[in-house]
Structure 1
Amino acid sequence: MARRPDADRFSTATRLRLLGEQTAARVYRSQSRRQARRSRLTGRAAFLALVVCSLVVALAYPMRQYVSQRAEIAEQQRRMAEARQRVEELRDEKARLQDDMYIERLAREHLHYVRPGETGFITVIDPRAAEERRDDESTADRPWYSNVWNGVDNADRNK
C-alpha cells in the first residue's frame, strides 16, 4: 500500500487545523481562568480593604486616647520634677535661715540694720540727677566732646 501524497497533505492540514483549534481553545480557557482569578482577587481585595478600614476606624479613638494620656502623663511627670526641685530649694532656704550669720546679713542688706557703734549710710538719689543720668544714658552714642559740653551746660544751669 503506497500512500498518496494528497492523503498525507490532507491529514497534515487536518492535523494542523486541529492543533490550531486545540491551541486556541487552551488560550481561551487560560484567559477565562485568569479573568475568573482576577475577579476573585478583586473581590478578596475589596473585602480585605473593608476589613482594614474597619480596623482603622475601630482603633482610631483608642489610639488617640492613648496618645493624649501619654502626653498628659509626661506633663504630670515634668510638673512633679519641678515640684521636687522647688522643695529642695525651700529646704536649702530653710537650712540657711537657721544660721544666725545669714539672718544678720539679710537684716543689714534689706533692713539697713547696723551694729552698736557703727554708722549707717543710706544713699539718697536726687530725682533731677536721676533724670540727668537717664539723659546721659541716651547720649552714649554721641561723641565724647558733645557730652562734655552738655555736662558743663547742665552744671551752669544748676547754679
Structure 2
Amino acid sequence: MARRRRLNFNKRRGNSRVLTLATILFLMALTIAPPIKHYFTQRAQISALKSQVESNNEALEQARKELLMWRDPEYVKSQARERLHFVLPGERQYIVTDSAGQYTEESGTTVASKIPDGQPWYARMIASITETRNQ
C-alpha cells in the first residue's frame, strides 16, 4: 500500500512537472511573441523603405541627366522646334495634316471645341478650366 502511494505521488509529481513546464513555455511564448511580431513588421518596413529609396535615387539620376541635357543649347533649340514649332529666321515650317486636309490638334479640350468660333477667346479659356475641374 505504501508503495502504491509512492507511485501515485510520483505520477502526480511527474504530471505537475509537465504541467509546470508547459505553463512556463506558454508564458515565454506570450512574452516573446509581441517583440517578434514587431521585429518582422519593422523588417518589412525597412525593406519597403529601401526599395523606395532606390526608386527615388533612380528618379533623381534621371532628373540629373535631363538637367544636363537642358543645359546644352542645341538640345534646347531642338526642343523648341519640336514642342513649340519654332523656326530659325529664313526657314519655313510645314505642318503635316491628315488625309482629309484637316489640321487636328490633340491638346484641345472637348468643351472648348464645342464652343462656336464666334465666341471670344476668354469663353474658350473659361470652358476649358471648367472642364478640367469637373474631371
TM class, shorter-length: 0.5 to 0.7
Whose helix proportion is higher, 1 or 2? 1
Aligned runs of 1:100-139 on 2, under 5 Å? 100-125=73-98, 126=100
Percent of pairs with identical residues: 27
Distance 1:57 1:124 in 2: 75
Distance 2:95 2:85 in 1: 8
Letter in structure 2 aligned against 1:76: L
Residue of structure 1 in register with 2:31 after alignment: 58
Q: How many residues align?
A: 102
Letter in structure 1 aligned against 2:33: A
Point out where structure 2 has 5 or more consecutive residues left out of the alignment: 105-135
Residue of structure 1 in register with 2:70 after alignment: 97
The structure with the largest alpha-carbon Rg is 1
Distance 1:76 1:84 in 2: 12
TM-score (norm 2): 0.63
Distance 1:49 1:91 in 2: 62
Letter in structure 2 aligned against 1:97: W
CA displacement, residues 92-139 of structure 1 (integer Å, 9 cap, x when unaligned):
1111111111111111111111222221111233599x9xxxxxxxxx
Residue of structure 2 in register with 1:78 after alignment: 51
Aligned Cα RMSD in Å? 2.7
Structure 2 residue matching 1:69: 3-state secondary structure: helix
Distance 2:38 2:62 in 1: 36
Point out where structure 1 has 5 or more consecutive residues left out of the alignment: 1-24, 131-159
Higher relative contact order (CA 8 A, sep 6+): 2
CA displacement, residues 21-46 of structure 1 (integer Å, 9 cap, x when unaligned):
xxxx9xx95x7765544332211110
